Amino acid sequence: MHINHFAIPSDHPRARSLYIREMLVDGFRRGLVVPEGLIAHGRGEAYDYLLGERTTETAQRAIKAAAAMLLLSSRPVISVNGNTAALCTNTVVELAKVAGASIEVNIFYRTEKREMAIKAELELHGAKRVLGVGSKASARIPELQSERRRVDPDGIYAADTVLVPLEDGDRTEALIRMNKTVITIDLNPLSRTSRAANITIVDNVVRAMPALVEAARKLRGTMSLKKITDNYDNSKNLQESLKIIKGEA
Ligand code: PTJ
């Protein structure tokens, strides 16, 4: 990865945030990220700033519920777009192993070249089987017009639970209509995806993904999974995240 270290002094007060930006820019140069992805990241950054650039206790509760949900699922799938590939391919692969999930490439601005680049990036980090690329995305999500409707019949189409980091609202709602459980990671607690998903982790994917791996590792083989998911309340969780942003909590 080419990170412009010279431009960012390590003692810069915003060094961490600037490094994450560089990861996106590097992903853009390598053909993983679309220009629109850089803009989407900017919006995420603004929310992250307001949340204190930390995994809040509220997000941690959602992470625990998400880990339990993935472990309870019989066909969990992690959906990977350009930004996710640039920021956390290694933890996507780790989570897939720990939670027994499949990995599928699913992008909004679809080109075969970028699908292949994201697949190659996942394989470089140890993914054995990457779904949803090229002619493998032969199934369709009903009532969805965007290129995200094209999914793998062995992956998202047949999944009971789908983890969709940085997702657009249309597909989240379409997946819910297909009776799938949707887990998202989205820094904006007001987004349509955040409100439609069953479990919303309001946190940066860069922090949330490793925390999710850790939580799944801890919970694997324990008996309390169903209790954790039953006791989780997503609307309450979103309200709490909003209060943190407004400085009321
Ligand atoms: O790779 P593609 O073609 O699938 O395109 C990916 C983007 C991100 C461009 C596409 O999915 C898109 O346009 O997304 P949206 O509708 O802008 O939604 C992105 C959401 O993710 C917004 O609510 C952002 O606040 C949030 N977000 C951005 N960066 C992060 C984030 N959430 C968590 N971690 C981030 N690093």
Residue 168 confidence (pLDDT): 84
**How remote is the CA of residue 222 from the centroid of ligand 1, in Å?**
33
Q: What percent of the chain has pLDDT over 90?
A: 88
Confidence of residue 121 (pLDDT cuts 50, 70, 90): very high
C-alpha distances out from residue 187 to 11, 109, 177, 226, Å: 26, 21, 23, 26
Residue 241 scores a pLDDT above 80: yes
User: Using CA atoms, how far apart are residues 149 and 216, in angstroms rounded to an integer?
Assistant: 29
Q: In what order do the strands lie in the sheet with 76-80?
A: 130-131, 102-105, 76-80, 161-165, 181-185, 199-201
Listed in order, strand segments (DSSP E) in 99-202 are 102-105, 130-131, 139-140, 150-151, 161-165, 181-185, 199-201
pTM: 0.95
Residue 4 scores a pLDDT above 80: no
Q: Which domains does the chain have, with CATH numbers?
A: 57-245 (3.40.50.12640)
Mean pLDDT, rounded, of the chain? 94
Residue 5 scores a pLDDT above 60: no
Segment 230-238 shows an average pLDDT of: 98
Tokens representing residue 154 in the block: 């062995």
Give the tens place of pLDDT for each residue, 204-220. Answer: 999 999 999 999 999 99
Residue 78 identity (one-letter amino acid): I
Characterise 68 by phi-psi region: left (phi > 0), alpha (psi -120 to 50), beta (else).
Answer: alpha
List the residue whose alpha carbon is closest to atom 35 of ligand 1: 204
Residue 194 confidence (pLDDT): 97
Confidence of residue 17 (pLDDT cuts 50, 70, 90): confident
Give the tens place of pLDDT for each residue, 60-117. Answer: 999 999 999 999 999 999 999 999 999 999 999 999 999 999 999 999 999 999 999 9
User: Using CA atoms, how far apart are residues 45 and 54, in angstroms rounded to an integer?
Assistant: 12
Give the side-chain half-sphere CA count within 13 A for 70: 34
Residue 58 scores a pLDDT above 60: yes
Candidate of 83, 88, 89, 92 to mutate for ligand 1, largest count of ligand atoms within 8 Å of Cβ: 83
Confidence of residue 153 (pLDDT cuts 50, 70, 90): very high
* Cβ of residue 41 lying under 6 Å from some atom of ligand 1: yes
User: Using CA atoms, how far apart are residues 107 and 147, in angstroms rounded to an integer?
Assistant: 7
Residue 151 scores a pLDDT above 70: yes
Range with lowest mean pLDDT among 17-21, 34-38, 191-195? 17-21
Residue 42 confidence (pLDDT): 96
Listed in order, strand segments (DSSP E) in the chain are 76-80, 102-105, 130-131, 139-140, 150-151, 161-165, 181-185, 199-201
The number of the ligand 1 atom at minimal distance from the alpha carbon of 106 is 4
Tokens representing residue 29 in the block: 């140069």
